[in-house]
Amino acid sequence: MPFTTPPLFTTRPTIRGTFGVSASTHWLATGTAQSVLERGGNAFDAACAGAFVLQVVEPHLNGPGGDLVGVFATAEQPGTPVVLMGQGPAPAGASIEHYRAERLGRVPGSGALAAAVPGATDAWLTLLRDHGSWELDDILAPAIAYARDGYPVLANVTAAITGLRALFQEHWPTSAELWMPGGQVPQPETLHTNPRLVETWTRLLSAATGSTRTARIDAVRREWSEGFVARAIDSFVRTPHRHSTGGDHAGVIRAEDLAAFSAGYEPATTVDFRGTTVAKSGAWGQGPALLAMLRILDGFGEERLDPSTELGAHTIIEAEKLALADRDSYFGDAAEVPLDRLLSIEYAAQRRALISDDASFEYRPGVLDGRTPFIPALQSDVAGDASTGEPTVPSLGERRGDTCHIDVADRWGNIVSVTPSGGWLQSSPTIPDLGFALGTRLQMTWLEPGTPSSLTPGTRPRTTLTPTLLLRGGRAVAALGSPGGDQQDLWQLLYLLRTIVGGYSPQAAIDAPAFHTTAFPNSFWPRVWTPGGVTVEDRLGDAVIAGLERRGHRVTRAGDWSLGRISMVGYEPATGMLLAAANPRGAQGYAAGR
C-alpha cells in the first residue's frame, strides 16, 4: 500500500539543470558552485569552490581547521562509490594518560585538547587535485573575495557570538578581536571580513609552484602541513587557554602531527535496500549505522515503514535505537569492527525481533560471537538542543556549531556529497596568524582504555559526519546529506524510506515532518542520553504523537519546521535529467541548476 499522501506544500517541483546541479546549506556556496559549473568546471571543481566559501560564510559551522567526510562517483566509474576521508587522527601527544594527568574525566567539548589533526583543507585539495580540472587560485577566488570584501552575517552567527561574548572577552581575546571588532557583536546582514584568513590563503597560493597542476596543488598541501600553517598551530596551542571544563590547558597538536597526516580515499560500505544501493563511510564514521537501520527495517512490510503513521514512526524509532547502540558499542578506529557481521541479514533479523509494540528504555547493543560489547557511560542530567542535533550550552565555550553540507552533480555524470564540519568559531580560540580555529572532534573519544573509540594517538575519532550516495542500475543516481550531529543519519533514514518505499519526490521527502530518537549517548560533550526519548516536529500530527506517547515514548515537540537539514542532487533514472532539492527549514538551504 502507498505511504500517507504528503501535504500540498511538498509537491513543488525540484530544480533541474543541464549544466549541473548543486545544493548546500548556504546560498552563497550553492551560487558559487553553480557558477563554476556554468563556466565549464566539473562537480569536483564546483564542490571545492563552494566548500571554501562555506568556511567563510558559515564560520559557526565549519572552518579550515575542521574535518570532513565525502562520498562520490566519477563519470568514468559511475558504479563505484568512493569515500573521501578528511578526518584527522588524534595527535601523537593525545594520550589517555596525558588527559588524566590534566585531571579530566572526559575530553573537553571546546579548546585545543579537543582538536584532532585538521583534515578538511587537505581533503579538499586532494579531491581537487585528483578529480577536479581548475587551478587552485580560481577555486579559492570566490572565498577570498568574500573574506576580503565582506559577506552578510547570518543571524545564527550573531547568536553564537552573543552567547560567547564573555568567554571571548575574558579568555579568548584572539577570538574577540576577529569576531567582535571594536568590542561589538556583528549584527545580522551586516558585512563581516576575515583579513587574516585572506592572508593565509594568499600565502598558500604563493607556494603553488611546479610545472603541472598536480605539482602546484601538492606544493600547497605541503605548505599547509609542513610550512607556516603547521608552525602557527603548534606555536599557538602551547599557551594554556580556557576549555569547556572551566580549566585552562595547553593543546598537544604539533607541527609533526600535521606533516604526518594525508587525506585520502577508501572503498564505501554498502547495503542494498529494495532496489537501491546505499553507500556510506566505514565504521570510523557513523554511516554504517544507517545501513544497519535499513537492514533491520527491510524485514518489515510497508505498513511499518511509513514515517507519517504511528506504527511506522514507532518501528523506525526502535530500529534507530538498536543500530545506534551497536554504533556506540562497536564502531571506532581504535578497534577491529565486525562490520560484516553487524550488517548481515542474519544479525538484522535478530535485532528486528527485539522490536515490540512498546518503546524500549534500555540500551541494547547486540552480542557478537561471544564478545562483550562496550557499554558507554549513560547519563541523562544535562539537556540538549533539539533543533540542531548537538548540545547548545552558552557558557565556557561548549556552545556547539552544527555542520555544513554540499552536494554537486554535473552533466558528465560526476556526483559528490560532502559533509564538512569542525573548526567552528566557538570550538577553540582563533589562531591569530591564520584567521581560523581548530576543531573539537576528539570529544567523541573516551578516556577509558579498551573501547572501540578510546582516545589513541594516531587513530581517528568516530565522527558523526555521514554523507550518502545512492546507486541504481549500476550507476550513482543521488547524493545527499544533512548537518545535525548524531541526527544526520536519523533524518536521512526518513528521506530514504519516503523516496525508495513511499514514492515521494526528493523535495517532498525533505519537506515532510521529521523526528528522531534521543535514546543513545550523544557523541558530543557531555555525552548525555534520554532513555525512551524522541524529538518530533509538531507537523507529525497530534494523533501520531499521542500514539507514540501511549506506546511509552518520551516525546519532545520541537515546533513545526525545526528538524532536518537535508539537501540532495541526482539524476532522474528515466531521462537522465539532473535534479536538486534543499531544506526549507531556517530559510538557508539552497538548490540550483541550469
pLDDT for residue 378: 83
- Phi first, then psi: give them for residue 345, nearest 5 degrees: -65, -35
| Cα 515 from chain centroid (whole Å) | 18
Question: Contact, 341 vs 369, CB < 8 A?
Answer: yes
Q: In what order do the strands lie in the sheet with 567-571?
A: 15-17, 578-582, 567-571, 475-481, 468-472, 276-280, 269-273
Strands, E, within 206-252: which ranges? Answer: 241-242, 248-249
Q: How confident is the model at residue 383 (pLDDT cuts 50, 70, 90)?
A: very low
The C-alpha atoms of residue 556 and residue 591 are separated, in whole angstroms, by 30
- Give the tens place of pLDDT for each residue, 499-511: 999 999 999 999 9
Average pLDDT over residues 329-334: 94
> What would the grid cell of residue 505 be?
519526490
- Give the tens place of pLDDT for each residue, 79-116: 999 999 999 999 999 999 999 999 999 999 999 999 99
The C-alpha atoms of residue 589 and residue 410 are separated, in whole angstroms, by 19
- Give the tens place of pLDDT for each residue, 261-301: 999 999 999 999 999 999 999 999 999 999 999 999 999 99
Average pLDDT over residues 470-496: 96
| Cα 76 from chain centroid (whole Å) | 27
Ordered DSSP codes for 412-437? TS-EEEEEEEB--TTTS--BTTTTB-
The C-alpha atoms of residue 275 and residue 477 are separated, in whole angstroms, by 12
Question: Contact, 520 vs 328, CB < 8 A?
Answer: yes
Dihedral angle sign, alpha carbons of residues 307, 312, 314, 318: negative
At residue 203, does pLDDT exceed 70?
yes
At residue 356, does pLDDT exceed 50?
yes
pLDDT for residue 390: 40
The C-alpha atoms of residue 91 and residue 113 are separated, in whole angstroms, by 10
The C-alpha atoms of residue 444 and residue 513 are separated, in whole angstroms, by 29
- Phi first, then psi: give them for residue 513, nearest 5 degrees: -55, 140
Considering only CA atoms, which of 502, 508, 512, 544 is closest in space to residue 2?
Answer: 502
> What would the grid cell of residue 474 be?
549500476
The C-alpha atoms of residue 205 and residue 201 are separated, in whole angstroms, by 6
At residue 565, does pLDDT exceed 80?
yes
Domains defined along the chain, listed by start: 266-362+483-564 (1.10.246.130)
Return mean pLDDT, the chain.
93
> What would the grid cell of residue 31 be?
551560487
CB neighbours of residue 187 within 10 Å: 12
At residue 6, does pLDDT exceed 60?
no
Phi-psi region of 445 (alpha: psi -120 to 50; beta: other; left: phi over 0): beta
Of 588 and 38, the one with more pLDDT: 38
Using alpha carbons, list the distances in angstroms from residue 378 to 22, 191, 289, 325, 365. Answer: 40, 44, 19, 11, 13
- Phi first, then psi: give them for residue 574, nearest 5 degrees: -70, -35
- Give the tens place of pLDDT for each residue, 165-201: 999 999 999 999 999 999 999 999 999 999 999 999 9
pLDDT for residue 377: 81
pLDDT for residue 388: 31
Residue 502 CB-density burial (10 A; 0-12 exposed, 13-18 middle, 19+ buried): buried
pLDDT for residue 594: 81
At residue 213, does pLDDT exceed 90?
yes
Alpha helices in 308-344 (DSSP H): 310-330, 339-342
Q: How confident is the model at residue 523 (pLDDT cuts 50, 70, 90)?
A: confident
Using alpha carbons, list the distances in angstroms from residue 182 to 160, 172, 537. Answer: 17, 15, 40
